[in-house]
Structure 1
Amino acid sequence: MTLQDMNEYETAFNEDDEEDSDWEPLKRHVEILKWFCTNCTMVNLDDVVHCDVCGEHKRSGILRNGFFASPFFEDAIASRTESESAGRDADSSSRNSVSSCSTAVGFDERMLLHSEVVVKSHPHPERPDRLRAIAASLATAGIFPGRCYPIPSREITQQELQMVHSSEHIESVQLTSHLYSSYFTPDTYANEHSARAARIAAGLCADLASEIFSGRCKNGFALVRPPGHHAGVRHAMGFCLHNNAAIAALAAQAAGAKKVLIVDWDVHHGNGTQEIFDGNKTVLYVSLHRHEGGNFYPGTGAAWEVGTAGAEGYCVNIPWSRGGVGDNDYVFAFEQVVLPIASAFGPDFTIISAGFDAARGDPLGCCDVTPAGYAQMTRMLNGFSDGKLLVILEGGYNLRSISSSATAVIKVLLGEHTETEFVKRGPSRSGLQTVLKVLQIQKNFWPTLGPSFEELDLQWRIFSIRKKNKQLKKRRRTLAPICWKWGRKSVFYHLLLKGHFVAKSKRR
């Protein structure tokens, strides 16, 4: 090797060194593995076996066995007792002929085709698994198929839809059948199967209403989706395309019903149903929902929204002021508001817009109603219109909550007593305040509420006075020990109290 060769070699080596000085390790993209809970759709890291939010097992069998599936183990029944009970129900159901059944169920698997096509960072809460979980629970319990009988499904006609919705709205929903994926609002999706699914859901609700009112069955449950109570005359929103409850109410009236009661216990206000029947004195709409001063979706449903155009009082809103509302507040509102007004109205047919998103564990509703609470409310409404009652599924996004709650409701329709009977307790303070506010407004239209309002208002005033007295006594004890009142320090005791009240009056 010559000197020139060595020099060139050294130069090349130095150039490599300079390049190496700028070298950085290759940045690898580390993928974080995660899974979405089947029960509540919440995201979890891959190394976690149970959902951090609801505790459901990563490979739970809830879609095969419904709420009977164990939440703790992979694809297992919750307990031997429950599985044996379900087996007994199935055995007894096989002895019942379809003709002896009194409860009809509306269901069609084509409604499962309605789903969000676009893959997003989080699964949509209104998903086909909602129906699958309820259907699996009913099948495991031997209720459906078994003790309830199915009605044939059909698509609602355009003429029937036009009794509720505008032609523009009907056309906009139908247009989605030509699109792979579309959205009415950022949270209300559609695919090429959605329009048909919505027509099937509406058709089932209409036919169930006709069957029940005509006496061909005693009552019924519409296991349908997409839900409907947010769909108004001209718009689809809140996961809803066609208003199933409104269509069912008009179908019942077409069959001969003169007065229809709709009770909506979905955690969200049914703004669409309220709009459709605003000014209509033949339909009484009652909604219990979270409102929180209009800050909870959809923002409508304040207590002062009572109806218009001579039908004031035929819209009754019971707007909760906070989350976490449970059985006792709901049943208290039923006793004080819903039942007295319904009795005065005298319905020929009753519809429940049964959203189960106020159920304990629901990720959207964040309330605390149990299956026993839903069963109790169903019993209370079953006494109206000679038991002609149609329950229509609306919301509810925790699979275990909606399947157990729906099963409890259907057992009431079948005349059963649920395993966990409702234990009655008093309402919460905020629940009592909400009911008082509603009574104060609605007593102007329903005089039967007057005595209840006066009695509750008096109880509330007495409670408030007692609470103030307790606070006053507590404040006095903190200012000076009570023993000072009679001892040598009595002067200081009275001076401290006097000084406190003088200072307080000056601040006012």
Structure 2
Amino acid sequence: MGSETIKTGRLANGETQKSVHKEKRGLSSNGMNGKHENLGSNRAGTSSSGEGYDLMMNTGDVDGNLDGDIEPVFKKARQGDLTFQDIHDNGDFFDEDEEDDSDWEPVQKHVELIKWFCVNCTMVNLGDGAVCDLCGEHKDSGILRLGYFASPSSQDAGCSEVEFEMKGKNKEMHSQLSASNSSTAIGFDERMLLHSEVQMKSHPHPERSDRLRAIAASLATAGLFPGRCYPISAREITREELQMVHSLEHIQDVELTSHIFSSYFTPDTYANEHSACAARLAAGLCADLASTIFSGRVKNGFAMVRPPGHHAGVREAMGFCLHNNAAVAALAAQAAGAKKVLIVDWDVHHGNGTQEIFDQNKSVLYISLHRHEGGKFYPGTGSANEVGRNGAEGSCVNIPWSRGGVGDNDYIFAFQNLVLPIATEFAPDFTIISAGFDAARGDPLGCCDVTPAGYSRMTDMLYTLTGGKLLVILEGGYNLRSISSSATSVIKVLLGEGPGSELGNIAPSRAGLQTVLEVMKIQMNFWPSLGSSYAKLQSQWGAYCNTRKQIKKRQRTEPPIWWKWGRKRLLYHILVRRLHVKSKGKPSLHSS
């Protein structure tokens, strides 16, 4: 069996060899083109035998059957004398019969990077995950439909049990309360949603229309607005009213944007063709709310407006702000009869525009609690030493936090020991809160830790100052869940609901306490009521402030603990004994 197989193989090879020779004889009369084609087919036919190369180079058959112009090339090839010039001159003979590859391109693998922006905090997320890496919000959550009542970690699935439950509660509330006898007014107009950045940069602008949509959705789901709150009609502020706050040049600059498709006052303060109208509506709503509240037609109000305003100064727009809504409202309240107006600004950024407008006006007291960090936090103004000028010293009270992460305890401690004592001594007729919610927990810009309960508590503490005549104006806040839940908590206090849990002993952070004491030391020169409180706080909390410094000093003087078990153990015991003798008789750092 094995031998037969071998013979058959030889016979096949022999036949193949003959056919190749016959084809090569025929090539000589067809010219070089025919040779090229048939040689290619021969190679293809013999490759299956594994011996095609030997057959083609069989000199016994090739020498007598090729044209004269090809024979020298084969001879050189046999002798190993073939040059590049020979290959070039006989290119058609040596070229392989392959398809034309002139249009060949390398295969490019397009790796598509999935990128999406969180609807809640605007931060960029990479990959096909469904939950934001920063805030945990589902990319298809229902926060714009249900507000903060929507589940943060699941996709919006239409009407939910929460929605049905809230609708049932709302019907009960509507049967007990009508809008006509509501004590709280809400200022809102959908045209303010048209103010937007035309072309997105690296990610969506944090000051976006979804901020108002999320608050409106939360209030609607909770049955507060529409429902328990009274809506006031919107109007655009007049140029004459704006000129009481801003320069004519500034007003004209803002108006000019209505004729421009897209423009910027600063790299982060945008405008489109609707922005000027939105800014006039926001200022007009704040002015009308202030006069309506002071006249007694409603008890208090919430201005759900944008663009925000507290960075807008006399001559410039900045920090997302075009017109200063709080300043317009303060002057509107005074035009309605208020003699003294208090503005408390708890936005995480200092309201440099509001301070500039009123720092020479003794009839308006401006108190701001904000991150400062030695001027490194935007906008860099608002140090404790900025107190007002030209006879109005003490009209500005800045409480500048020295770090991020400030929470409820520090804010409420500052309210108890600074804001309320100074405000009580000032005795205002009307109170305005510049309510930025960017110090709220989860805000991507503020990076602080104030909760909705903290905001409701601060609102409640200010509520009784002027007999409930209180206007809350929306400023910043860029986490939709944080801003909507915080705004809802504040409005519930305006409606008469308590802030929740009672205040216990508020223990501030060490940094927060140091800030409060620093501000008290400066402001007691203008507000005498702070004198006794300052002395009491120093005696009560002085050791607490200095504990960290003493611990650091002690750590520097004590020898390293590992000396105790090494070659320096004798030196360690000597130094420790000396330190013990020196500190003998001194009070312990941990004594009560």
Fold conserved between structures, TM > 0.5: yes
Q: Assess, with a 3 A threshold, how the Cα gap between structure 1 residues 334 and 19 changes in structure 2: closer, same or farther.
A: farther
Distance 1:80 1:121 in 2: 37
Aligned to 1:184: 265
Which residue in 2 is equivalent to 1:152? 233
Cα distance in structure 2, aligned partners of 1:304 and 1:426: 25
Alignment: residue pair count: 496
Q: CA 1:16–1:363 in structure 2 vs 1: closer, same or farther (change >3 Å)?
A: farther
By relative contact order (CA 8 Å, sep 6+), the higher-ranking structure is 1
| Residue identity in the other structure for 1:268 | H
What's the CA shift string for 1:190-236, capped at 9, x where partnerless?
A: 00100000000000000000000000000000000000000000000
- For residue 453 of structure 2, what is the aligned residue in structure 1? 372
Q: Give runs of aligned pairs for residues 29-40 of structure 1, distance below 5 A.
A: 29-40=110-121
Name the counterpart of 2:178: 97
**Which residue does 1:363 correspond to in 2?**
444
CA contact (8 A) 1:260 1:284 kept: yes
Q: Percent identity?
A: 70
CA contact (8 A) 1:221 1:391 kept: yes
* Alignment partners' CA distance in 2, 1:386 and 1:228: 26
**Shift of the alpha carbon at 1:86?**
6.2
* Cα separation, partners in 2 of 1:399 and 1:462, compared to 1, 3 Å: same
Q: Matches of 1:128 and 1:433 in 2, distance apart?
A: 38
How far apart, CA to CA, are the structure 1 residues paired with 2:453 and 2:118? Answer: 25
Where does residue 73 of structure 2 map in the other structure?
none
Equivalent residue, structure 1, for 2:511? 430
Q: Among residues 231, 235, 251, which one is paired with 2:332 in the alignment?
A: 251
For residues 193 and 439 of structure 1, the distance between their equivalents in structure 2, rounded to whole angstroms, comes to 44
1:168 alignment counterpart: 249
Equivalent position amino acid for 2:32 in 1: Q
- Secondary structure of 1:385 counterpart: coil
User: 1:471/1:82 Cα in 2 relative to 1: closer, same or farther (>3 Å)?
Assistant: farther
Separation in structure 2 between the aligned mates of residue 421 and residue 58 of structure 1, nearest angstrom: 37
- Of stretches 80-89 and 13-22 in structure 1, the one that deviates more from structure 2 is 13-22
Among 271, 294, 300, the residue aligned to 1:219: 300
SS of the counterpart of 1:155?
A: coil
Structure 2 letter corresponding to 1:120: K
1:11 is aligned to: 91
- How far, CA to CA, are the matches of 2:417 and 2:159 in structure 1? 38
- Of the three residues 93, 117, 133, the one matched with 2:214 is 133
Please list, as runs of the form range in 1=range in 2, the aligned pairs for 1:344-359 lying within 5 A after superposition: 344-359=425-440
Q: Structure 2 counterpart of 1:186, which letter?
A: P
Aligned partners of 2:510 and 2:544 also within 8 Å: no
**Pick aligned residue for 2:531 from 440, 450, 474:** 450
> Structure 1 residues 85-94 or 284-293, which shifts more?
85-94
Distance 2:486 2:182 in 1: 21
Q: Which segment is superposed worse, 446-455 or 249-258?
A: 446-455
Deviates more, 1:334-343 or 1:39-48: 39-48
**1: CA distance between counterparts of 2:301 and 2:218?**
17
| CA-CA distance at 1:5 after TM superposition | 2.5
1:272-287 paired onto structure 2 within 5 Å = 272-287=353-368
Give 1:418 deviation, angstroms: 4.6
Residue type at the aligned position of 1:199: R
Residue 359 of structure 2 aligns to which amino acid in structure 1?
A: D
Q: Does 1:381 align with 2:462?
A: yes
d(CA) in 2 for partners of 1:347, 1:44 = 48
Q: Equivalents in 2 of 1:492, 1:174: separation in Å?
A: 75
Query: Residue 111 in 1 paired to residue 192 in 2?
Result: yes
Aligned to 2:478: 397
Distance in 1 of aligned mates of 2:490 and 2:550: 44
Q: Deviations over 1:157-181 (max 9, x none)?
A: 0000000000000000000000111
> 1:307 deviation in Å?
0.3
Residues 107 and 223, structure 1, Cα contact 8 Å, conserved in 2: yes
Equivalent position of 1:269 in the other structure:
350
Distance across 2 between alignment mates of 1:209 and 1:479 = 65
Shift of residue 241, structure 1, vs aligned partner: 0.3
Partners of 2:167 and 2:373 lie apart in 1 by 40
- Deviation of 1:363 after TM superposition, in Å, equals 0.4
TM-score for the superposition, normalised by structure 1: 0.90
Deviation at 1:188, TM superposition (A): 0.4
Q: Is the 8 A contact 1:69 1:77 kept in 2?
A: no
Q: Deviations over 1:373-404 (max 9, x none)?
A: 00000000001111100000000000000000
Change (3 A) 1:336 1:78: farther
Q: What's 1:195 paired with?
A: 276
CA distance in 1, matches of 2:111, 2:548: 59
SS across alignment from 2:529: helix
Counterpart pick for 2:133 among 52, 73, 76: 52
Shift of 1:72: 1.3
Partner SS for 1:445: coil
Q: Does 1:238 align with 2:266?
A: no
Contact 2:457 2:499 in 1 (8 A): no
Q: Which residue of 1 aligns with 2:578?
A: 498
CA distance in 2, matches of 1:35, 1:491: 62
Partner amino acid for 2:214?
Answer: A
Q: For residue 11 of structure 1, what is the amino acid of its counterpart?
A: G
| Map of 1:338 onto structure 2 | 419
Distance 1:253 1:319, change over 3 A: same
**Equivalence for 1:486:** none
Q: Is the 2:163–2:221 contact (alpha carbons within 8 Å) kept by the matching residues of 1? A: no
**Alpha-carbon distance in 2 for matches of 1:499, 1:132:** 64
Shift of 1:87: 3.6
1:317 corresponds to which residue? 398
Change (3 A) 1:5 1:354: same
Distance in 1 between residues matched to 2:446 and 2:172, nearest whole Å:
36
Greater mean alpha carbon deviation, residues 28-37 or residues 138-147: 28-37
Structure 1 Cα separation of the partners of residues 212 and 353 of structure 2: 23
- How far apart, in 2, do the equivalents of 1:78 and 1:495 lie? 73
SS in 2 for 1:300: coil
Distance 1:117 1:495, change over 3 A: closer
TM-score (norm 2): 0.78
**Within the alignment, does 1:459 sit opposite 2:487 as a pair?**
no
Cα deviation, residue 417, structure 1: 2.4
In structure 1, distance between residues paired with 2:418 and 2:440: 21
What amino acid maps onto 1:251 in structure 2?
A: A
In angstroms, what is the RMSD of aligned CA positions?
Answer: 2.9
SS in 2 for 1:137: helix
Please report how far the alpha carbon of residue 496 of structure 1 lies from its aligned counterpart in structure 2 after TM superposition.
5.1
**Which of the pair has more CA radius of gyration?**
2
Unaligned regions of 5+ residues in structure 1, if any?
A: 483-488, 503-508
Structure 1 residues 345-381: Cα deviation after superposition (integer angstroms, max 9, x where no partner): 0000000000000000000000000000000000000
Deviation at 1:456, TM superposition (A): 1.7
C-alpha distance 481-473 of structure 1, shift in aligned 2 (>3 A): farther
